[in-house]
Structure 1
Amino acid sequence: MNANKQLWEKGDFTKLADCMRQSGDELVERIGVAAGEQVLDLGCGDGTTALPAATRGADVTGVDIAANLVAAGQGRAQAAGLNNITFEEGDASDLAGIADDRFDRVVSVFGAMFAPRPDDVAREMVRVTKPGGTIVMGNWIPGDPTLVAQILKTSAAYTPPPPEGFVSPMLWGNEDKVRERFAAAGIPDDHVACERDIFTFRRDCPPGDFLDLFLNFYGLTMNAVEAADREGKGEALRAELSFLFDSQNVSSDPSTTEIPAAFLRVTVKKPG
């Protein structure tokens, strides 16, 4: 099986996505998705940003490599009564079957950054965007002190080294690398804008219970826990992550969790 597909079909990311709904809706509002737009949500999961875009009247296509998340997105759209959104399986590195210049807006929030062959990802996003259209990416920032970057950094310390030729997905959070990749895809530098933004995870439970969702349902941390347990280091990993979640929680109510995480918001205008 495709290793990336296997990773994102592991566990059940919908459990985490439930903590991201409000921020997903706020981000769609912030980037200005409008009625009548043709929107591609790439690495859409179960629709955290795709459904809010459709609710605002856009015609949305959600693409994800994980079959279970595509099915979950279809179920959420049906339950919401949205007939202007479709979900399908696909690889952000190779959007076979999607025509050139099709979408007014391509959105990928913590999705396409994890696809292999990042240069191909940039070229494919540019290819399927209409001239004059917009690409928006949300990418976690390497080394950032906030939650997700620290989860990934901590997990990596307990995981075997990646195979030769592996390109870290966190490089999508490096502005220079983003500009380099889109330049190779034909986008002038002055058509690329990057800014730091915040995505907040919210859950009606204590931080320890929120951590359990990552340990039990998020493929990247599940792999780290399995590797750490094999080396007799599982408790050390859990202790590091527990401290991280407790220290990053900004909720004044001990029975709830609210943790902001910084990301790089990338906006690309395809020349008309």
Structure 2
Amino acid sequence: MNPNKMLWEKGDFTRIAQSMRESGDALVHSLNVVPGMAILDLGCGDGTTALPAAERGANVLGVDIAENLVAAGNARATAAGLTNLRFQQGDASDLTDLADESFDLVVSIFGAMFAPRPLAVAKEMTRVTRSGGRIVMGNWIPGDPTLVAQVLKTSAAYTPPPPEGFISPMTWGTEETVRERFEAAGVPAENITCERGTYIFRRQGPPQELLHTFKHYYGPTMNAFEAADKAGRADALEAELIRLFSAHNLGGESDTEIPATFLRVTVHKP
């Protein structure tokens, strides 16, 4: 079985996504989505960006490696009465069932960065984008001091080393690497821009409750706790993450509002 598929079907990312809805809507607002626009949301989860894009009148296809998230996305689309939104299972590094130049906008917010074979991901995203269209990615930044980059860094410290040949998804958060990949996919350097943005995790309740959600429903953190438990270090991992979530929380003792910095990549296909 595809290890990436196993990772994202292991937990239930919809639990995490509930704290990301406001930022997802704000990001879509910044994309200038117009009615009739054809959008591919790659690594879409249950539709944190796909659903608000469809609400603005775009025709949206969400693709995700995890079948449980595809099912959750289709359920959300049905509940919202959005006939212009559908979800299907797929691999961001192999979109062979999607035709060349099918979309005005390809968006991937913390999704395609986790797919294997990153050069193939860049080539596939470029291939399915129409001439004159855009690709917009949101990628976590390696070594960034804010929440998610630190959660992934901490989790990696408690997890066995990855297999030989593994390319870290965090490399998508490095501007030089992003440029190399899209230039190799045929995009001129001047058509690639990178800037920093902020995503905010919001939910009622203390930050320890958000940590609980990461611990039990976020694949990378779940793997870290399983490995830490086998090594007798689960308490140390939990204490480290509690300090991290509490230190970054701006919402006070009873609410959670935690910002996380990401690299926003915009590619204009010639």
Q: TM-score range by the shorter chain?
A: over 0.9
TM-superposed deviation, 1:113: 0.1
- Residue equivalent to 1:160: 160
Q: How far does the alpha carbon of each residue in 1:4-50 deviate from its partner, in whole angstroms, 9 at most, with x for none? A: 00000011110000000010000000122221110000000000000
Deviations along 1:153-189, whole A, 9 cap, x unmatched?
0000000000000000000000000000000000010
d(CA) in 2 for partners of 1:68 and 1:88? 10
Q: Secondary structure at the match of 1:31?
A: coil
Q: Does 1:255 align with 2:254?
A: yes
CA distance in 1, matches of 2:246, 2:118: 34
Letter in 1 for 2:134: T
Q: Which residue of 2 is the match for residue 180 of structure 1?
A: 180
CA distance in 1, matches of 2:33, 2:41: 11
Partner of 2:204: 204
The residue number in structure 2 matching 1:266 is: 265
Q: 1:223-238 alignment to 2 at 5 Å? A: 223-238=223-238
Alignment of 1:145 with 2:137, yes or no, is: no
Q: 1:124 aligns to what?
A: 124
Q: How far apart in 2 are the matches of 1:89 and 1:8?
A: 12
SS across alignment from 1:41: strand
> Residues of 2 paired with 1:100 and 1:159: CA distance?
39
Structure 2 Cα separation of the partners of residues 174 and 244 of structure 1: 23
Task: Give 2:60's aligned residue.
Answer: 60
SS of the residue corresponding to residue 30 of structure 2 reads helix
Cα offset, 1:270, TM superposition:
0.2
Encode CA deviations 1:232-272: one digit per residue, 9 max, x unaligned: 111100000000000000113x111000000000000000x
Under a length normalisation based on structure 2, what TM-score does the superposition of the two structures give?
0.99
Structure-2 separation of matches of 1:197 and 1:90: 27
Aligned partner of 1:19 in structure 2 is 19
Write out aligned runs for 1:73-84 (5 A): 73-84=73-84
Question: Which blocks of at least 5 consecutive residues in structure 1 are unaligned?
Answer: none
Q: TM-score, normalised by structure 1?
A: 0.99
In structure 2, what is the Cα distance between the partners aligned to 1:179 and 1:34?
A: 28
Cα distance in 2 for partners of 1:213, 1:4 equals 20
3-state SS of 1:130 partner: strand
Q: Which amino acid aligns with 2:264?
A: R
User: Partners of 2:266 and 2:7 in 1: how far apart?
Assistant: 27
Specify the alignment match of 1:37 in structure 2: 37
Amino acid at match of 2:160: P
The residue type paired with residue 172 of structure 1 is W
CA distance in 1, matches of 2:31, 2:78: 25
Q: Any runs of at least 4 consecutive aligned residues in structure 1 with deviations exceeding 2 A, and if so which? A: none
Give how far 1:96 is off.
Answer: 1.6
Output one character per residue of 1:87-125: Cα deviation in whole Å (capped at 9) or x when no partner. Answer: 000000000210000000000000000000000000000
- Taking the aligned partners of 1:33 and 1:107, their CA distance within structure 2 comes to 11
Aligned equivalents of 1:34, 1:66: Cα separation in 2:
28
Alpha-carbon displacement from aligned partner over 1:173-226 (angstroms, at most 9, x marks no partner): 000000000000000100000000000000101011110000000000000000
How many residues align? The count is: 270
Instruction: Determine the C-alpha separation between the residues in 1 that align with 2:51 and 2:221.
Output: 26
